[in-house]
Amino acid sequence: MESTRVGRIRYINVAPVYHGFDSGQVAAPFSFISRAPATLNSMILNSALDISPVSSIAYARHHNHLMVLPDLSISCFGDVMSVVLASRFPIDQLDGKTIVFSSESETAVGFLRLYFAQKKIAPVFVATQINSPEDRVCADAAGVLTIGDLALTGEWERRFDHVWDIGRLWQELAGRPFVFGLWVVRRAFAEARPEVVAEILKRFHASKQKGLAQIDQVIVRAAGVTGLDVETCRRYYRLLQYDLGPEQIAGAETFFDMLFAQGMLAEAVRLSFFNPSP
């Protein structure tokens, strides 16, 4: 187990899942590697990681090589706060206009392309590095898609006329939870070392349970990391879901079905789970 390489998203959104590990209440005899979501996607596909959270759309594109770990996700039903589209124009006026986006999240970009395609609106999407709302790329663009801690702390409403929460847009479109991230294991690793994967999964579930039970500690730590006030962090964690039950599964597969129907996935995709039972 000690040689197992385990990914971690570098944003505060996953803090409850890792709280048991962070607080020392759950042992973690393996290596954590903290990166942006898109980097973790690449690392697990390149066999640089064995287990990791990944963007749900990355799983859909590479599902033959990955297995989903049960009862772990980054989901919401409605607002999520940390994935937003900020714009100088109403949505129906963005046709032909430039939307810049952070290349750190594939799922948010995939959803936005789907959303505009369904509305028959064709913005020009440009991937770039976004460090601040004051960046020149943001000043020159009609819209900005931002994720993670920067979405939470950037005060986008002060700089743009319109700000839409991506979680809310999905709820209005599909009426289901939106699954931004899934924890996965490389299929080859799971087949070679199922007992190790089962033990790590057990520890992740224990760590998540500690985080949800001790959410006030998570909130205080997140406020310290981001500079946000405690009540904003509390509201944020109330919006997030970390389970992967029937509603979240249906939400993820509805997203995949819509991507496939729009020609954005090569085939229909269903979640394929790692089974921890012998």
Give the 3-state secondary structure percentages of the chain, helix then strand then coil, rounded to 5.
45, 20, 30
pLDDT in tens, 82-125: 999 999 999 999 999 999 998 787 899 999 999 999 999 999 99
Q: Is residue 68 within 8 Å of 273, Cβ to Cβ?
A: yes
Tens-place pLDDT, residues 18-40: 999 999 999 999 989 999 999 99
Average pLDDT over residues 37-59: 96
Q: Which residues pair with 84 in a beta bridge?
A: 146, 165
pLDDT bucket at 229, cuts 50 / 70 / 90: very high
Answer yes or no: are the C-beta atoms of 166 and 83 closer than 8 Å.
yes
Burial of 204 (0-12, 13-18, 19+ CB in 10 A): buried
Domains and CATH numbers, the chain: 5-77+178-261 (3.40.190.10), 83-174 (3.40.190.10)
Rg (CA), the chain: 18
In order, the DSSP letters of 171-202 are HHHHSS-EEEEEEEEEHHHHHH-HHHHHHHHH
User: What is residue 72's three-state secondary structure?
Assistant: strand
Alpha-carbon distance 190 to 257, whole Å?
26
Place of tokens 């980097």: 39
Each residue's pLDDT tens digit, 163-182: 999 999 999 999 999 999 99
Average pLDDT over residues 145-170: 94
pLDDT band at 6 (very low <50, low <70, confident <90, very high): very high
Report the length, in residues, of the chain.
278
181-221 pLDDT, tens digit each: 999 999 999 999 999 999 999 999 999 999 999 999 999 99
pTM: 0.94
Query: 36: which DSSP letter?
Result: -
Indicate if the pLDDT at residue 69 is higher than 80.
yes
**pLDDT score for 104:** 80
Residue 104: phi, psi to the nearest 5? -80, -20
Q: What per-residue confidence (pLDDT) applies to 135?
A: 87
Paired sense of beta strands 98-102 and 66-76, if any: unpaired
Confidence of residue 278 (pLDDT cuts 50, 70, 90): low
